[in-house]
Amino acid sequence: METTLEAAPFVEAEVNRTLTAAEKIHFLSQMLRIRRFEQAALRQYQTSGQIGGFLHLYSGQEAVAVGTLSLRGENDHVVAGYRTHGQALAMGMTMNECMAELFGRATGCSKGKGGSMHFFAPDKNYWGGHGIVAGQTPLGLGLAFALKYKGIKGCCLCYLGDGAVNQGVYQASLNLASLWSLPVVYIIENNQYSMGTSEERSSAFRGCLAARAEAYDMAWDRCSGENIYEVRAKTWPALQRAREESRPTVLEIATYRYYGHSVADANAKKYRRPEEIEKYRTLHDPIQLWQKQLYAEGILTEAQAAELDAAAAAEVAESVRFARESPLPAPADIFSDVYVEVDRQTPAGRTGKFFFND
């Protein structure tokens, strides 16, 4: 799917017209922070020997997380897949807790128990970070259900990839979302690939993946994910539909990832032509495009942009230092956070044998 920049009609959208210069600059700063964070994470993965497992980078997709989440309200909740650093930082998680999690440290957001795919910040309405493709899709349904049950006006934004749409549980979730009129917005981040398999080799569809919502009598839309104005203009009606009418939406956002599926993607350069990657990096980079947009609007200078970038870099450097110097979890910590009743040492948590090591 080719994406083109059509900012003009979207600038005029109500949610964009009311933006202040400071807010627009903040979006840039958030995207820069995500980009810088991941570049450092990649470097640390390759050089420090302290980050294990998978590391799914979000570089190239930043405008999706920053744009959609810029519209969240106090009673909106978020759940996502495993390529989740972007959402986590956009939700207000600190670089320190995120970097420390990658380093497997006790100071990590999940105390070193979750790793890259499993960041959580329920205090910020961020419910993960889920490693099983589409496993989060009914959880999003449940968050939306709970809001409706409690009579709270809010919604759930549930993110998934283009590869997740063929999981039965996602289709089943769409059915329940529409059948029960739940305030959930499914956001398909279509970066055209699921690991090494292109969208064309994965999915049978007419028009686009979101259009499958049609079969569930459910609203859907699609947009380009390289421009924050467009992302916001298209996201807002979906959020409002959820909050005001308690109706679900599927929103498909076209985007692109620059790196391999994970750092450990041995075929990163085989299933995509280098020219394709290069084209997106140079012509469709959401950060560069937004920066240019702000220059054109006369609200940002190159010097200011450089300052923001330097601040992001400094914050990242500090997070790496923090992570390195943080303690590891103690071996005894392996057994905490398994059962809440045990952790709290309630009567229930003190009755019977919970762990079978000896």
Residue 164 interacting partner from Mg ion, other proteins, ligand TPP, none (CB closer than 5 to 8 Å by kind)? ligand TPP
Residue 221 CA to residue 211 CA, distance in Å, equals: 8
Residue 284 CA to residue 151 CA, distance in Å, equals: 42
| 23 three-class SS | helix
The nearest distance, CB 80 to other proteins, in angstroms, is 13
Place of tokens 């959820």: 242
- Closer to other proteins by CB, 140 or 225: give it: 140
- Closer to other proteins by CB, 86 or 115: give it: 115
Q: Residue with the closest Cβ to Mg ion?
A: 161
Q: Does 161 bind ligand TPP (CB under 6 A)?
A: yes
List the structure tokens of 347. 């009567």
- Closer to other proteins by CB, 15 or 139: give it: 139
- Closer to Mg ion by CB, 161 or 225: give it: 161
Q: Does 266 bind ligand TPP (CB under 6 A)?
A: no
Residue 357 CA to residue 111 CA, distance in Å, equals: 22
Burial 237-256 (b: 16+ CB within 10 A, else e): bbbebbbeebbbbbbbbbbb
Place of tokens 């998934």: 160
The nearest distance, CB 118 to ligand TPP, in angstroms, is 12
Q: Does 280 bind ligand TPP (CB under 6 A)?
A: no
Residue 199 interacting partner from ligand TPP, Mg ion, other proteins, none (CB closer than 5 to 8 Å by kind)? none
Is the CB of residue 182 less than 8 Å from the CB of residue 145? yes
- Closer to other proteins by CB, 325 or 333: give it: 333
Residue of 155, 124, 140, 37 lying closest to 81 (CA atoms): 140
One-character DSSP codes across 241-261: HHHHH---EEEEEE---SS-S
Q: Does 163 bind ligand TPP (CB under 6 A)?
A: yes
List the structure tokens of 82. 């495993």
Q: Does 131 bind ligand TPP (CB under 6 A)?
A: yes
Residue ranges in contact with Mg ion by CB under 5 A: 161-163, 191, 194
Residue ranges in contact with ligand TPP by CB under 6 A: 83, 131-133, 161-164, 191, 193-195, 261
